[in-house]
Amino acid sequence: MKEADRPYHHGDLRRVVIETAKDMLREDKGWQFTLREVARRAGVSHAAPYKHFPDKRALLTELVIQGFEQLGQEMTAAMTPRPRSSRKELQAVAGAYVQFGVANPALYRLMFSSEAGDPSSVHLNERVLRTFGVLLDVLARGQQAGLIRKRPVQGQAAACWAQVHGLTMLSIDGLLLPEKVGANPVNAALTTLLEGLEVPAA
């Protein structure tokens, strides 16, 4: 049977296309595949992916959004049961963030690539902002408890995100060499960051 004549034996074509693209992203360590290749791998007609995605960029955008959703879920799960201090919460969130990037390097790189669409619009997507909201919530509660310095919470979040993103990229690239930055550079860097956020002990 020709590939174009195959019936849609999948119950959810959109989900199958997305999951196939995720597998290819993970295995190929990049997103150079075409929609035609995704269709062939999924066992559907060449035209099938276009029923849900007008072009490859639209599919990549969905992968990015789902990547941020997964990241947010893992950050939230790292706080369950919720630690007793803002420092432990922030360490848990930051640690989960770095672990996610290291475990999903191609997806993580795609999440910050312009090839998935205009970064400003993608990163302002409501589903993406919910993940950033996890960090904002931790910082806001820390301020309310008197443990985090009273500063604009978005500015504090930007500082946290910038440092943790940098640590994640350096970890992915294998550049946190112990000879250069010590035996446990991620924890050391996070401790330094958190000391700057916390209200000094009386």
Residue 2 shares a structural domain with residue 64: no
Angle at 32 (CA atoms; ends 29, 37), nearest 5 degrees: 105
What pTM value is reported for the model? 0.89
CA separation for the pair 124, 88 (Å, rounded): 28
Residue 87 shares a structural domain with residue 39: no
| CATH code of the domain in which 32 resides | 1.10.10
What's residue 11's pLDDT?
Answer: 62
Percentage of the chain exceeding pLDDT 90: 76
DSSP 198: B
End-to-end distance of the chain based on CA atoms, in angstroms? Answer: 76
Residue 76 shares a structural domain with residue 5: no
What's residue 77's pLDDT?
Answer: 95
- The answer, yes or no, to whether residue 6 has pLDDT greater than 50, is no
- Residue 75: give the domain boundaries: 56-197
As a whole number, the mean pLDDT across the chain is 90
With CA atoms as reference, report the closest residue to 134 among 165, 94, 172: 94
DSSP 174: T
Q: What are the Cα distances from residue 39, in Å, to 51, 87, 107? A: 12, 46, 20
- The answer, yes or no, to whether residue 140 has pLDDT greater than 90, is yes
Percentage of the chain exceeding pLDDT 70: 94
Q: pLDDT tier at 202 (50, 70, 90 boundaries)? A: low
Residue 79 shares a structural domain with residue 27: no
Domain membership of residue 85 (yes or no) is yes
Residue 45 shares a structural domain with residue 73: no
Tens-digit pLDDT profile for residues 34-44: 999 999 999 89
Q: pLDDT tier at 118 (50, 70, 90 boundaries)? A: confident
**What are φ and ψ of residue 198, in 5° steps?**
-75, 150
Question: Rounded to the nearest 10 degrees, how much is the dihedral formed by the CA atoms of 146, 68, 30, 165?
Answer: -10
What's residue 4's pLDDT?
Answer: 42
Q: pLDDT tier at 182 (50, 70, 90 boundaries)? A: very high
What's residue 86's pLDDT?
Answer: 87
Q: What are the Cα distances from residue 46, in Å, to 5, 21, 61? A: 10, 14, 20
Residue 107 shares a structural domain with residue 14: no
Residue 60 shares a structural domain with residue 40: no
Residue 74 shares a structural domain with residue 42: no
Cβ pair 33, 21 in contact under 8 A: yes
Residue 95 shares a structural domain with residue 46: no
Domain membership of residue 202 (yes or no) is no
What's residue 123's pLDDT?
Answer: 93
What's residue 200's pLDDT?
Answer: 87
Domain membership of residue 138 (yes or no) is yes
Domain boundary residue, one of 14, 29, 54: 54
Residue 132 shares a structural domain with residue 168: yes
- The answer, yes or no, to whether residue 8 has pLDDT greater than 90, is no
Domain count, the chain: 2
Domain membership of residue 77 (yes or no) is yes
Tens-digit pLDDT profile for residues 55-96: 999 999 999 999 999 999 999 999 888 777 888 999 999 999
Region for 146 from its dihedrals, namely left if φ exceeds 0, alpha if ψ lies in -120 to 50, beta otherwise? left
Residue 109 shares a structural domain with residue 177: yes
> Among 4-8, 66-70, 71-75, 184-188, whose mean pLDDT is lowest?
4-8
Domain membership of residue 105 (yes or no) is yes
